[in-house]
């Protein structure tokens, strides 16, 4: 019978508890890797799936990494550039409200209605937007049900579609509205604030030369901003541009980049801005924790195997006394180490797949990541057995006679 298997059967309870402990530790290592990949996926998801080749925005790192504000008529300027086939308005911001007495954070995305109704979104229930106001598409992570109505600003919006795994850069679920509804939510102010602003406009008009010469102009002070010629429409975050097939993306970007009031980024450049901006420190910190946990797992496994070897010193000495070769003893410790690592990895995988879906942030595990961790576990198991092997090789055969 294999010596490693026989020793495990003899001390099955201790080996089982040790393996479970190692499995839980490896599960944390696996989870950290999944969280690391989930952060990257969440941060770049919208930029990847929005379907834009170029983003025209304010001279900032927006619209995802920071605030960006551009006039809505920028759409028509972009459409006039040779090679541009479509240009769509884009709005993105985050809000926090209460639902059922609990806070709910929503990453609001404005779709360029009626060009974009959300048909390309990954629906699990419901439909795209069918009217220009008061409808929304919500991600499942927000907990909103199909047909549910939620108050945002001064209006109620009905959930007509539910998506899956549509997460914003901060880990909040995405909700999709028409561009006008998204702006209404973003620039919503209390009624008293509107009244005070209108009164302030009237006072400024009365005190100006124009107001004294044409008193009727002060009546405009109480009109909505969109009806006052001096006040422009509300600004959007960016304009998403798609290019005709066969047209050089670089040439189109060069033309737009020549405009002094905006900057232009490709989809890949937006992705890089996100990874090197808002999520950079979090990504590095999670990666560092993953490395540290892997090292800690190796140290703990080495100590466990060393302790198990100490418990078998008398047996090892007896084996040497009866003429067992060193390779037999080496195989005993190495096989136990590999069994400990492999079984622990299996426990980590099975338990992790059950509990990772309940984590607040997405845990994304790819086959490549799991295979990489599996190889790392085998290497750790082999390296961890070195300390036990070193101790076993130093045992003298006559020690069996002293015990």
Domain ranges across the chain? 3-43+280-402, 46-275
Flag whether pLDDT at 25 surpasses 70: yes
Cα separation, 177 vs 115, whole angstroms: 13
Q: What is the pLDDT of residue 6?
A: 65
* DSSP 8-state assignment for residue 357: G
Summarised one tens digit per residue, pLDDT across range 295-305 is 888 888 778 77
Q: What is the pLDDT of residue 315?
A: 65
Q: Which residues pair with 98 in a beta bridge?
A: 103
Where do we find the tokens 């001390």?
11
| pTM attached to this predicted model | 0.73
Which conformational region is residue 219 in: left (phi greater than 0), alpha (psi within -120 to 50 degrees), or beta? alpha
Contacts of 141 (CB under 8 A, 6+ apart): 167, 173
Cα separation, 132 vs 144, whole angstroms: 20
For the chain, what is the radius of gyration of the CA atoms? 32
Higher pLDDT, 264 or 307: 264
Sign of CA dihedral 95, 97, 102, 108: negative
Q: Confidence class of residue 159 from pLDDT cuts 50, 70 and 90? A: very high
Cα separation, 388 vs 7, whole angstroms: 15
Summarised one tens digit per residue, pLDDT across range 327-376 is 676 777 778 788 888 888 999 999 999 999 888 888 888 888 899 888 98
Where do we find the tokens 């009806």?
227
Q: What is the pLDDT of residue 139?
A: 93
Contacts of 64 (CB under 8 A, 6+ apart): 46, 47, 92, 169, 270, 273, 274, 278
Flag whether pLDDT at 227 surpasses 60: no
Flag whether pLDDT at 178 surpasses 90: yes
Q: What is the pLDDT of residue 32?
A: 86
Cα separation, 165 vs 231, whole angstroms: 39
Higher pLDDT, 124 or 36: 124
Q: Confidence class of residue 146 from pLDDT cuts 50, 70 and 90? A: very high
User: What crossing angle do the helices spanning 367-393 and 12-49 adopt, rounded to 10°?
Assistant: 150
How many CA atoms lie within 13 Å of 305's alpha carbon, on the beta-carbon side?
A: 32
Q: Confidence class of residue 1 from pLDDT cuts 50, 70 and 90? A: very low
Cα separation, 338 vs 320, whole angstroms: 23
The encoded tokens of residue 305 equal 């195997």
Where do we find the tokens 């089982």?
16
Contacts of 154 (CB under 8 A, 6+ apart): 184, 188
In order, the DSSP letters of 52-120 are: -SEEEE-SSSTTTSS---B-TTHHHHHHTSTTEEEEEEEEEEEEEEEETTEEEEEEEEEE-TTT--STT
Summarised one tens digit per residue, pLDDT across range 189-220 is 666 765 776 666 666 666 666 555 566 666 66
Cα separation, 268 vs 54, whole angstroms: 9
């Amino acid at each position: 019978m294999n010596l490693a298997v026989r020793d495990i059967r003899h001390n099955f309870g201790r080996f089982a508890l040790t393996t479970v402990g190692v499995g839980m530790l490896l599960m944390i290592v696996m989870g950290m890797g999944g969280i690391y990949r989930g952060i990257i996926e969440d941060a770049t998801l919208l930029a990847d799936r929005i379907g834009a080749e170029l983003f025209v925005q304010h001279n900032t790192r927006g619209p995802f990494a920071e605030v960006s504000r551009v006039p809505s008529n920028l759409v028509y300027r972009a459409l006039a550039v040779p090679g541009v086939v479509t240009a769509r308005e884009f709005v993105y911001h985050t809000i926090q409200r209460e639902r059922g007495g609990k806070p709910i954070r929503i990453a609001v995305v404005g779709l360029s209605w009626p060009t974009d109704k959300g048909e390309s979104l990954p629906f699990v229930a419901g439909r795209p937007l069918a009217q220009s106001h008061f409808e929304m598409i919500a991600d499942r992570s927000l907990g909103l049900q199909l047909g549910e109505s939620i108050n945002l600003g001064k209006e109620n919006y009905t959930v007509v579609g539910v998506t899956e795994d549509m997460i914003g850069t901060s880990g909040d679920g995405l909700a999709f509205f028409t561009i006008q509804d998204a702006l209404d939510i973003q620039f919503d102010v209390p009624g008293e604030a509107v009244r005070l602003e209108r009164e302030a406009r009237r006072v400024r008009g009365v005190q100006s030369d124009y107001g004294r010469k044409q008193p009727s102009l002060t009546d405009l002070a109480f009109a909505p901003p969109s009806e006052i010629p001096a006040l422009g429409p509300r600004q959007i975050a960016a304009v998403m541009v798609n290019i005709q097939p066969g047209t050089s993306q670089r040439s189109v970007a060069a033309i737009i980049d020549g405009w002094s009031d905006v900057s232009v980024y490709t989809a890949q450049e937006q992705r890089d801005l996100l990874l090197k901006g808002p999520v950079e420190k979090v990504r590095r910190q999670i990666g560092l924790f993953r490395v540290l946990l892997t090292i800690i797992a190796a140290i703990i496994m080495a100590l466990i195997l060393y302790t198990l070897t100490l418990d078998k010193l008398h047996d090892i000495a007896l084996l040497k006394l009866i003429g067992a070769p060193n390779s037999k003893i080496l195989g005993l410790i190495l096989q136990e180490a590999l069994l400990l690592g492999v079984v622990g990895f299996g426990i980590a995988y099975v338990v992790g797949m059950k509990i990772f879906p309940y984590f607040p942030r997405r845990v994304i595990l790819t086959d490549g990541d799991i295979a990489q961790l599996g190889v790392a576990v085998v290497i750790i198991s082999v390296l961890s057995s070195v300390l036990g092997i070193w101790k076993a090789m130093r045992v003298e055969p006559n020690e069996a006679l002293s015990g």
